[in-house]
Amino acid sequence: MLANLFSLFTRRSTAEDYRRAFVAEVRPVTPRVQRSRRSERVLVGGWVLVGLKCWGVWWLVQTYHDRIPFGAWWINGPTLAAAALTTFVYLRRP
């Protein structure tokens, strides 16, 4: 406070000094995080496993349709939805 008072008496402030003293605008910059190649490989590997599982379930339901009282989509639908949600969350992260 005394330093400001001292500067007030020693020199005259201009309007430009007052404009520089206040922040006019703030733009936060969030750096983009590099994606991990290992994570992407795991994601692709997971999709391959999901595809193999869905094919296996479809094959089992088609082969044993007289003993299985439900369709393959009752198993494959939630699996694909969870995999799609996981992929969407990974790709949408900053």
pLDDT value for 34: 82
Structure-token pair, residue 48: 């391959």
Per-residue confidence band for 12, with pLDDT thresholds at 50, 70 and 90 = low
pLDDT value for 31: 81
- What ranges do the domains of the chain cover? 2-92
- The mean pLDDT of the chain is 85
pLDDT value for 30: 80
Its pTM stands at 0.63
Average of per-residue pLDDT across 32-54: 92
